[in-house]
Amino acid sequence: MGRSALEKLRADALKLPEPERAELAQDLVASLDGPADKHADQLWDAEILRRLAEIDAGTAKLIDRDEFTRRLRAALKGNRPGSG
């Protein structure tokens, strides 16, 4: 694929609605991943249960969606939350 084709593809992708860009990004990242870890599902299940237990116990520090989005965008730009 030539450079101009890549630039057009990138420009078109950036015009997609946010949910579709997220889905495309997930697909692209997944295409770069190696073979799946056969133990990953078990590890994620354990992590989910641990986090749910923290929420139930009231020890988890929760943030709302807006704060999560702000922190994620800052991290993607290379900034740390609270630094700018």
Q: Who's near 81: CB < 8 A, 6+ residues apart?
A: 70, 71, 74, 75
Per-residue tens of pLDDT for the chain, all 84 residues: 778 999 999 999 999 999 999 999 999 998 998 888 889 999 999 999 999 999 999 999 999 999 999 999 999 998 665 554
74, 84 contact by CB (below 8 A) = yes
